[in-house]
Structure 1
């Protein structure tokens, strides 16, 4: 959570997986977008990142993550919810049945506390097709979340589409800097090298967090009042 002497007027809680979560120091410069989100808010808003690496929409509930959030919620708070990557795994969920059922549990639990749930489609992986266009790797999960948001009148940020557009604008080579790519012996935390096209670098996490705040503004949520003016050094390509 952002450190400040002021008591925040509103708190934003994050529920999600490793693409959202705070990464430990030994994994730096890998970072989740939730790790960078506080940079975009004034001191009147607190950000509490409860996302967990490896979490699916189901496991986050089973491991007490949703309860941990709802126990802290106050009326007027927000919960940003992004799951999908780990729901794809063989032990995961089905997009149009169990996945949607789990999302409903988040929505209802947050609303019961007079807080606002915001659904966020998962950030896309960095994969390009033979035509040099960003590939779809998340199956029906983004579509299923959009359908659920429509049915239950839940604000939704289409981060899946926003990240695909970002990758396309930067191109195959330019988009690499958004992710964790090192040659062997190039970085002490990754002596054997790494080519990770799912998890963000700190620079990439800032860009994706910027897209999330862009979505907050586009939705016209009252939370927008606590966003700082956009900084040019947080824009893509820097």
Structure 2
């Protein structure tokens, strides 16, 4: 077959496939919906993502969001989910990482633990049951209780008593249950602080860490409209919150 005829045949085939796809869409009707699978940790989903998700649903009603809530690192490069929100140094193989927001460590406790009519001090905190997060945070420069209290002005080393937990979500739940004072990532307790269940102790003390939040996805996944739309919405929401 001559080259010119081959090109014409390919064009006809391409047009035919386009017409077939258009016809299938009409058969499916306007109720056909796109789905984006988003993975994030339990604490981040509950305290940061869910309260904002209705805005995305309103803006993009044709896209269904499915949440894969997990503290393990999902393999996004090989399609275990379409998109994820991760906290770390921003370097993960096989995915594009876009910065969402910085993070800092704060001290919190249940409001019923705070002495009525008194302002908690570093010394008061040192005397409380301290909840220790044993979750690894490589490269994040997260403070220990001893480091945090020393910077806060306490002249006493914290005792070894307290709760030692190897789950960030469980550390937060321990604080919510009134089991003691915890050092936590601020974004993970945003809703609890807004509701008043948790109190931000010594808010004048800031301890930014190197870990930050990123939206991550494979380049292939980002070529899909629904994934790109959710990615861009996350970036917009996070940056707007930083500016407010």
TM-score range, shorter chain: under 0.3
Which of the pair is proportionally richer in strand?
2
> Normalising by structure 2, what TM-score?
0.23
> Normalising by structure 1, what TM-score?
0.23
* Structure with greater contact order relative to length (CA < 8 Å, sep ≥ 6): 2
Pick the structure with greater CA Rg: 2
